[in-house]
Amino acid sequence: MQQLKDRIKECDKLLIGIGEEWNKDSVPEILKAYEKLADLVKEKDYFIVTTVTDAEIFNSSLDSRRITAPCGNETWRQCSESCTKDIWEPGEIPDDICPHCQAPLTGNTIEAKNYIEEGYLHMWKKYTSWLSGTLNKNLMVLELGVGFETPTVIRWPFEKTVSINNKAVMYRIHDKFYQLSPEIKDKAVSIAMNSVDYIEET
């Protein structure tokens, strides 16, 4: 764990991926883990990509300007029939009925019948711009609890980033899916442990 702290301290850029182990349904007191993570990275130039849709990360002291949630945010609401690309904040439509077509609202996530992606695209553009500035930089990639529910969002792109950047190093922490691909095994550390527990103990 000290080695991880040292790696974070030494890096120029810190890319963090947060996956399904961080769902509040699995960890009722997940905010404590987010606060521990925030304390660990507070002085670094970081960006977070999360596939968790419960929006708990936005209740933490992690900088929301450095977080993208491409799988959506269940506290934001969209029309269940996608009659409009409008997305509403929590409580903005008290009766939870679409004002355009009267269909029920639903969470603005990939679970919706027709996911309205506009909600995350602004931050995704910021992320890709930030990521383009990591090439030839001392990049630390910290992958926390990312499995295979949506591997095209974090797991596989992060592996590609590490393989391309000669100065990158990766930590993959997961209870079950800690294995490394052959392309990055010499530049990565795998830890077979629940990533929430690991961060809380760091």
Q: Is the pLDDT of residue 1 over 80?
A: no
In a domain, 86, yes or no: no
In a domain, 83, yes or no: no
Structure tokens at 59: 């209740």
pLDDT at residue 132, rounded to an integer: 96
- Non-local (6+) Cβ contacts of 101 within 8 A are 79, 81, 83, 84
Question: What Cα–Cα distance (Å) separates residue 76 from each residue in 2, 54, 94, 111?
Answer: 38, 10, 13, 13
CATH number of the CATH domain containing 175: 3.40.50.1220
Residue range of the domain that includes 156: 2-75+119-201
Handedness of CA 73, 42, 159, 135 (dihedral sign): positive
- Give the HSE-up count for residue 160: Cα atoms under 13 Å, Cβ half-sphere: 8
Handedness of CA 86, 55, 175, 188 (dihedral sign): positive
Handedness of CA 50, 54, 58, 62 (dihedral sign): negative
Structural domains counted in the chain: 1
121: number of Cβ within 10 Å: 11
In a domain, 30, yes or no: yes
Structure tokens at 188: 């990565």
Query: Across the chain, which distance is largest between two alpha carbons, in Å?
Result: 55
In a domain, 84, yes or no: no
For 173, the 3-state DSSP assignment is: strand
Handedness of CA 39, 34, 185, 166 (dihedral sign): negative
In a domain, 87, yes or no: no
pLDDT at residue 26, rounded to an integer: 86
What digits encode the pLDDT tens for the residues 34-86? 999 999 999 999 999 999 999 999 999 999 999 999 999 999 999 999 999 99
Q: Average pLDDT of the chain?
A: 96
pLDDT tier at 192, thresholds 50, 70, 90: very high
Cα gap 19→42, rounded to integer Å? 20
pLDDT at residue 151, rounded to an integer: 96
In a domain, 106, yes or no: no
What digits encode the pLDDT tens for the residues 130-186? 999 999 999 999 999 999 999 999 999 999 999 999 999 999 999 999 999 999 999
pLDDT at residue 6, rounded to an integer: 94
In a domain, 94, yes or no: no
For 72, the 3-state DSSP assignment is: strand
pLDDT at residue 150, rounded to an integer: 95
Range 122-129 average pLDDT? 97
In a domain, 25, yes or no: yes
